[in-house]
């Protein structure tokens, strides 16, 4: 996030209750991922919370790219081939 400063974040741009709910969910998911890491859970399990948070962030900013993510997973891991 090059070029951003604290000033850029003083006035949040969340415009509706759905976005506010999603940002709260993101916070909970990140806290869970942190707790899971401290409890020595596997990276696979920790990544579940992180990926869910990532999807929620994409939803907030209007870039829900589930299809693109699925393609990336198939391309990287050859799932189903």
Domain boundaries, the chain: 16-77
Structure tokens at 67: 């299809």
pLDDT band at 14 (very low <50, low <70, confident <90, very high): low
Tokens standing for residue 39: 């409890």
Predicted pLDDT of residue 36:
96
**Taking the CA of residue 4 as centre, how many other CA atoms within 13 Å lie in the half-sphere pointing to its CB?**
6
Q: Is the pLDDT of residue 42 over 90?
A: yes
Q: Which band of pLDDT confidence, cut at 50, 70 and 90, is reported for residue 31? A: very high
């Amino acid at each position: 996030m090059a070029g951003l400063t604290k000033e850029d974040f003083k006035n949040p741009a969340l415009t509706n209750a759905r976005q506010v709910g999603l940002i709260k969910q993101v916070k909970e998911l990140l806290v869970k991922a942190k707790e899971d890491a401290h409890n020595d859970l596997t990276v696979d399990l920790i990544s579940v919370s992180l990926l869910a948070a990532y999807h929620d962030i994409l939803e907030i900013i209007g870039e829900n790219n589930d299809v693109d993510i699925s393609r990336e997973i198939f391309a990287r891991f050859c799932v189903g081939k």
